[in-house]
Amino acid sequence: MSTIQASIRTTETKGQINLLREKGQVPGIVYGGENPNEKISLSKKEVTNLIHKENFLSNVISMSIDGNEQKVLPRDITFDTVTDEPIHVDFLRIVKGAKIILEIPVRFINHELSPGLKRGGVLNIVRRKVELKCPTENIPTELVVDLEGLEIGASIKISFIKLPENVTPTIQGRDFVIATVAAPTVVKEPEKPAEATEEAAAGEGGEAATEGEKPAEGDEKAKEEVKPAEKK
């Protein structure tokens, strides 16, 4: 679990918040549960490092607010439209017993152990994320799909994935598809029409006849014997 340090902020005006950002801090807020909302400031460097980690918005973080430890979940990030740097982060306070709806990313492993993929099959990914209803104390960081042994034509459905206890898909009533191992697509060159083939063959034959045609032996001899009359 990732950790981050935060401090309670007392900024009220836009000018004060801008000054906070100029000092390398990112304003944020922690909300949820019975406790009141807490306005906080965080190190921009720490926030940026966390954002660059995989699945930031579905990872529970241990946050220390002026020494008070609590678990939070990033829920929203605002970026500067020019610099693309984070300028505000919202965190949901983790409360035991509560449930939350999240989009959890899907990761595929053991591509090299799939006979279907070895024979040229293609992994057709239908859903890269799955929306799940999770207890706040049991949020999966990712859903792992093992491709070992899968042949061409295999269909990977949500029932194929073992979900953590009390974690359920928000789509109920059907076993929806996550991915398939599809047959390779081979593009065949269209065949030439019979008429064009015949014309090409005739053209080649005509050229061969022209190139190979030689004057008759008698004609050559006649040309050699004909000489201009001598001038007197």
Question: Does residue 104 lie in a domain region?
Answer: yes
3-state secondary structure of 219: helix
For the residues 117-122, what does the mean pLDDT come to? Answer: 94
Indicate which CATH number applies to the domain containing 123. 2.170.120.20
Give the number of other Cβ atoms within 10 Å of residue 193's Cβ: 9
Asked whether residue 232 carries a pLDDT value surpassing 80, the answer given is no
Asked whether residue 88 falls in the same domain as residue 144, the answer is no
222 or 173, higher pLDDT = 173
What the block records as the tokens of 8 is 């309670």
Using CA atoms, how far apart are residues 2 and 57, in angstroms rounded to an integer? 12
Q: Which CATH number characterizes residue 10's domain?
A: 2.40.240.10
75, β-bridge pairs: none
In this predicted structure, the answer to whether residue 91 has a pLDDT above a threshold of 90 is: yes
pLDDT at 57: 84
Strand partners, 145: 108
Spatial distance between the Cα atoms of 180 and 97, rounded to a whole number of angstroms: 36
For residues 34 and 89, state if they share a domain.
yes
pLDDT of residue 187: 47
The confidence score (pLDDT) of residue 200 equals 54
Angle at 122 between CA 116 and CA 128, to 5 degrees: 115
Report in angstroms the alpha-carbon separations of 192 from 153, 189, 200, 229. Answer: 33, 9, 11, 60
Pick 54 or 200 by higher pLDDT.
Answer: 54
> What proportion of the chain, given as a percentage, has pLDDT over 90?
63
Examine the pLDDT at 2 and tell me if it is beyond 90.
Answer: no
User: pLDDT for 26-39, tens place per residue?
Assistant: 999 999 888 899 99
Compute CA distances 121 → 109, 115, 150, 181, whole Å: 15, 9, 10, 6
- How many structural domains compose the chain? 2
Cα gap 63→61, rounded to integer Å = 6
Residue 198 domain-assigned?
Answer: no
Separation of alpha carbons 155 and 147, rounded Å: 11
Q: Reply yes or no on whether the pLDDT at 90 is more than 80.
A: yes
Instruction: State the residue range of the domain holding 144.
Output: 100-182
User: 120 or 223, which is more confident?
Assistant: 120
Question: How confident is the model over 62-84, as a mean pLDDT?
Answer: 93
For residues 112 and 91, state if they share a domain: no
pLDDT band at residue 86 under the 50/70/90 scheme:
very high
Instruction: Give the C-alpha separation, 53 to 57, whole Å.
Output: 10
pLDDT one-digit tens code per residue, 36-66: 999 999 999 999 999 988 778 888 899 999 9
Contact 43, 100 (CB under 8 A): no
pLDDT averaged over the chain?
Answer: 84
Does residue 209 form part of some domain?
A: no
pLDDT band at 162 (very low <50, low <70, confident <90, very high): very high
Q: Tell whether 88 and 8 lie within a shared domain.
A: yes
What's the confidence (pLDDT) of residue 24? 94
Residues 97-108, mean pLDDT to the nearest whole number: 92
CA separation for the pair 212, 227 (Å, rounded) = 28
Q: Could you read off the pLDDT of 123-149 as tens digits, one per residue? A: 999 999 999 999 988 888 899 999 999
Here the tokens at position 149 are 């042994």
Q: Of 64, 76, 69, 59, whose CA–CA distance to 134 is shortest?
A: 59
